[in-house]
Amino acid sequence: MRIAVFGKQFGEVFYKACKSLFQILKDNNVEVVIHQSFYEFLLTNVKMKPDVSDFFTTHEDINDVDLLFSIGGDGTFLEAVTYVRNKGIPIVGINSGRLGFLADISQGEMKVAIKEVIEGNYKTRQIDLITLETGDNHFGEYNFALNELAVSKRDSSAMITIHTYVNNEFLNSFWADGLIVSTTTGSTAYSLSVGGPILHPSSKSFVITPISPHNLNVRPIVVPNDVEVTLKIEGRDSKFLASLDSRSKVLENTVHLKVKKADFSINVIELAGHTFYTTLRNKLMWGVDKRN
């Protein structure tokens, strides 16, 4: 087996577990290709020199791997997606911190989980992404997102108006601090924090969620993910902020945003006991009531 390992910096609480992880891979004769900057972090901070066969720095360097391990939090997982892209390589999310909704293998269960992965005792689940089209392709080759497109104001006081169209049919003009168009995966991220609904991963939908809308009768709306959502921004400021997951650009109000489902999906590993509902309960404490 040949795997790629991508990670970011993490705290000392995960140092011992990280060393154990690489030892497990070595003991099982797993060939490791590691991200160059992550390898340097392990050398300098963790004081370990993992046994690796090669390095990668771009998405072009990992065409011949069976899996990609993302070591970190959900932000690290989102960045790992930019390396996998449309290659179909399954991602294994290992959580080095506290929550980890996408990176759902915790430190306490890591040894057992990695053994299951190496032995092939897992299912692969496909999750949809979105792509963004702008006139000048402002995000370049990174014009896709696993979670959401978020549009927000730059000025600290003035709201913006987001004229929104679904398949070129006018939906509404949202007078708000911003607007989120999220995937089902992103429904438990930024969209959820501003009042959006939780969607099941297989529901094949988008959520359009306003951020702090001026009118209280404005609510999030769920639409099928086979539509194209167009956003036209208006405001006192001539510019606004557009974000695809963690990548942001300042754009002119003259730029129109067209969002649709990407023509490729991401494969993620799903181990026994790691269903969507158990993740909701265990990670988001969904439905927890101390009276019970």
Q: Which amino acid is at 277?
A: Y
Q: What contacts 24+ positions apart, CB below 8 Å, involve 139-146? A: 139/244, 139/247, 139/249, 142/82, 142/244, 142/247, 143/244, 144/85, 144/244, 144/262, 145/78, 145/183, 145/186, 145/244, 145/245, 146/78, 146/81, 146/102, 146/183, 146/185, 146/186, 146/245, 146/266
> Does residue 74 have an active-site annotation?
yes
236-262 burial string, b = 16+ CB within 10 Å, else e?
Answer: eeebbbbbbbebebebebebebebbbb
* Spatial separation of the C-alpha atoms in residues 206 and 238, rounded to whole Å: 28
Please answer whether residues 246 and 102 qualify as being in contact, where contact means their C-beta atoms are separated by less than 8 angstroms: no
Catalytic residue, candidates 54, 74, 104, 245: 74
Residue spans of beta strands (DSSP E) within the chain: 2-7, 31-35, 54-56, 67-72, 91-95, 123-133, 144-145, 148-152, 160-166, 169-176, 178-182, 205-211, 221-224, 229-235, 239-244, 247-252, 257-270
Please answer whether residues 30 and 1 qualify as being in contact, where contact means their C-beta atoms are separated by less than 8 angstroms: yes
Residues tagged active-site? 74
